[in-house]
Amino acid sequence: MKAAPFEYVRPSSAAEAIALLAADEDARVIAGGQTLVPMMAMRLARPARLVDISRLTELSNIRIDGENIAIGAAVRQAVVERDALAAEKTPLLARALPWVGHAATRCRGTVGGSIANADPAAEIPLVLATLGGSVLARGSRGARTIAAGDFFLAPMTTALEDDEILVEARFPAWRHARVGAAFLEISARRGDFAFVAAAAQVALDASGACVACAIGVGGATHVPTRLAASDAFPGAAIEESAARKTLALEIADIDIMTDGHASPAYRRRASIELATRALLAARDDALSKEPRA
Amino acid sequence: MKVALTVNGDTREIDVEPRTTLLDALRDSLRLTGAHTGCEHGVCGACTVLIDGAPARACLMFAVQADGFELTTIEGLAPAPGELSLIQDAFCETHGMQCGYCTPGMVLTAHALLRDDPAPSREKIVEAISANICRCTGYGQIVEAIELAARRLAGSNAGPAT
């Protein structure tokens, strides 16, 4: 279990990293390496050159950018986990991060790396898709913003071109008075890949009626999926039996993945249950908060 | 490729291939064999070391990436040769080990946990060591060891994580 030989380069800027990628089709970006290194150890990945972006200060910021929290590509998951601004502005991300691997992988793994890797069972891509966030990509032909819905194409496959790097991930920051969130998943062991994961963020008005809702499922689907039912809940209080019915109706029709771990029928059933529980838990989390002035 | 590693307070320059993991460099170049080689793909936790105080998998990092960090291995915990750290002593006393293969990783994980939270709940201890696999399934006594260490730290003058 040793990686094949490669060259290691540590560029001094994102521009230099992009030039290195453009010049060599067998070059790959490494940030935290918590997925890429095991893939290399198993020889499922054999890059000829690793371009290490993990120390680029220009990619190491968490900042408010208009309506979003922008997280630079080199920001480690453990840093976001402890970040008060991210916790306040994107409660769903804060709920999801403890589910990502273990503390020992989160202190190296990056938020951007998890998104660029696009594992269908990964938590952070599910948060980005559920909230309808986006990524900023930069390549030799310039920069572009890609919406989460257009970014995840298939398992481990994204819209990034070979010479593009993910510069930052942008998570919408909700400004509503009462926002609650919940993240749930089923896996074989703590920290393992999710068979099914569900994410929900809900905003309520002072009367407890839903004013905004985002709900998504991952693990069960080929790409992390924001459910259209998200738009069905605003306008009234969220109530269990109606919520379950609405979610079951949509999930009955979505394309479910299969592998050796869990059958499609199980994944569909578990998706309906987890999505319902996540939505109700997010509602209760919002109800527990005093309306902000 | 040359890289300077700072391990347990000492900085040494070694010459390794880029593909050499931090784990292999520690064991083969620096002869620090306390970090154990298990799965070599980030699942088992036997190779846990501390990077700037936080637990990490030494198999999921290449040695050439590790310059500039303060690395701590199990060899760096005891205050002097022939002695044990408070946490190591608690593992001995409760017999928080069977074959011992996972023990260095468990002790370092406990060390980082107790530094961040000197009085963790049982649930938090279980969550922390869920990152480390014990194939003897001796988890009961490992949890006991960390609880004992936390109680002793609370009663000691030394402060956390010594």
Q: Reply yes or no on whether the pLDDT at A260 is more than 90.
A: no
Q: How many CB atoms lie within 10 A of CB B1?
A: 14
pLDDT at B110: 98
CA angle B75, A101, A27 (to 5 degrees): 90
Q: Reply yes or no on whether the pLDDT at B161 is more than 60.
A: no
Our CA-based measurement puts residue A166 at a distance from the nearest CA of chain B, in whole angstroms, of 20
Q: Reply yes or no on whether the pLDDT at A293 is more than 60.
A: no
- Determine, for residues A3 and B19 on separate chains, whether the beta-carbon distance falls below 8 Å: yes
In DSSP terms, which residues pair with A52 in a beta bridge? Answer: A30
pLDDT at A189: 85
Q: Looking at the structure, do residues A87 and A122 belong to the same domain, yes or no?
A: yes
Mean pLDDT within A271-276 = 98
- Its domain, for residue A279, covers 178-287
Range with the poorest average pLDDT among A1-5, A234-238, A259-263 = A259-263
Q: Looking at the structure, do residues A270 and A185 belong to the same domain, yes or no?
A: yes
For the domain that residue A231 is a member of, what is the CATH number? 3.30.390.50
Our CA-based measurement puts residue A246 at a distance from the nearest CA of chain B, in whole angstroms, of 35
What does pLDDT average to over chain A? 95
Going from N- to C-terminal start, the domains of chain B cover: 2-76, 86-155
In DSSP terms, which residues pair with A8 in a beta bridge? Answer: A50
Q: Which of A143, A172, A201 lies at the terminal end of a domain, its last residue?
A: A172
Chain A contact set for B62 (CB, 8 A): 3, 8, 33, 37, 50
pLDDT over 90 percentage in chain A: 92
Q: Looking at the structure, do residues A125 and A210 belong to the same domain, yes or no?
A: no
- Determine, for residues B65 and A33 on separate chains, whether the beta-carbon distance falls below 8 Å: yes
Chain A contact set for B107 (CB, 8 A): none
Q: Reply yes or no on whether the pLDDT at B77 is more than 80.
A: yes
What does pLDDT average to over chain B? 95
Our CA-based measurement puts residue A258 at a distance from the nearest CA of chain B, in whole angstroms, of 23
- Determine, for residues B62 and A5 on separate chains, whether the beta-carbon distance falls below 8 Å: no
Mean pLDDT within A91-96 = 97
For residue B13, give the 3-state DSSP assignment. strand
Q: Reply yes or no on whether the pLDDT at B162 is more than 60.
A: no
Six-digit token string for B92: 């001995």
pLDDT in tens, A106-155: 999 999 999 999 999 999 999 999 999 999 999 999 999 999 999 999 99
Nearest to B95 by CA among B144, B46, B56: B144
Chain B contact set for A52 (CB, 8 A): 65
Q: Looking at the structure, do residues A61 and A168 belong to the same domain, yes or no?
A: yes
Q: Is B111 on the interface with A (CB under 8 A)?
A: no
Q: Reply yes or no on whether the pLDDT at B159 is more than 60.
A: no
What are the angstrom distances between the C-alpha of B132 and each of A42, A199, B6, B107, B137?
20, 27, 24, 10, 11
Six-digit token string for B152: 């002793």
For the domain that residue A90 is a member of, what is the CATH number? 3.30.465.10
CA angle B161, B72, A111 (to 5 degrees): 95
For the domain that residue A48 is a member of, what is the CATH number? 3.30.43.10
Q: Looking at the structure, do residues A68 and A148 belong to the same domain, yes or no?
A: yes
Cα(B122)–Cα(B135) distance, integer angstroms: 20
Q: Looking at the structure, do residues A64 and A164 belong to the same domain, yes or no?
A: yes
Q: Looking at the structure, do residues A38 and A107 belong to the same domain, yes or no?
A: no
In a domain, A293, yes or no: no
Instruction: Kindly give, in sequence order, each residue whose CB lies less than 8 Å from that of residue A74, ignoring residues fewer than 6 positions away.
Output: A31, A53, A54, A55, A56, A59, A60, A110, A112
Our CA-based measurement puts residue A29 at a distance from the nearest CA of chain B, in whole angstroms, of 13
Instruction: Write the residue in A5, A33, A190 that is nearest to B17 by C-beta.
Output: A5
pLDDT in tens, A146-189: 999 999 999 999 999 999 999 999 999 999 989 999 999 999 88
Q: Looking at the structure, do residues A13 and A34 belong to the same domain, yes or no?
A: yes
**SS3 letters for chain A?**
CCCCCCEEECCCCHHHHHHHHHHCCCEEEECCCCCHHHHHHCCCCCCCEEEECCCCHHHCCEEEECCEEEEECCCEHHHHHCCHHHHHHCHHHHHHHHHCCCHHHHCCCEHHHHHHHCCCCCHHHHHHHHHCCEEEEEECCEEEEEEHHHHEEECCEECCCCCCEEEEEEEECCCCCEEEEEEEEEECCCCCCEEEEEEEEEEECCCCCEEEEEEEEECCCCCCEECHHHHHCCCCCCCHHHHHHHHHHHHCCCCCCCCCCCCHHHHHHHHHHHHHHHHHHHHHHHHCCCCCC
Count of domains observed in chain A: 3
CA A9 to mean position of chain CA atoms = 27
With the CA atoms of A229, A234, A239 and A244 taken in that order, what torsion angle do they form, in degrees rounded to the nearest 10? Answer: 0
Q: Reply yes or no on whether the pLDDT at A192 is more than 90.
A: no
pLDDT in tens, B29-76: 999 999 999 999 999 999 999 999 999 999 999 999 999 999 999 999
Chain B contact set for A41 (CB, 8 A): 21, 40-41, 59
For residue B126, give the 3-state DSSP assignment. helix
Mean pLDDT within A227-246 = 96
Strand A178-187 to A194-204 pairing: antiparallel
Q: Reply yes or no on whether the pLDDT at A44 is more than 90.
A: yes
In a domain, A292, yes or no: no
Q: Reply yes or no on whether the pLDDT at A292 is more than 80.
A: no
**Shortest CA distance from B3: residue in chain A:** A8
Q: Looking at the structure, do residues A226 and A252 belong to the same domain, yes or no?
A: yes
Which CATH number applies to B2-76? 3.10.20.30
Mean pLDDT within A38-51 = 97
Q: Looking at the structure, do residues A82 and A124 belong to the same domain, yes or no?
A: yes
Instruction: Kindly give, in sequence order, each residue whose CB lies less than 8 Å from that of residue A27, ignoring residues fewer than 6 positions away.
Output: A20, A21, A47, A48, A49, A50, A51
In a domain, A198, yes or no: yes
Which CATH number applies to B86-155? 1.10.150.120
Q: Looking at the structure, do residues A40 and A66 belong to the same domain, yes or no?
A: no
pLDDT at B148: 97
Task: Categorize the per-residue pLDDT at A201 as very low, low, confident or very high, splitting at 50, 70 and 90.
Answer: very high
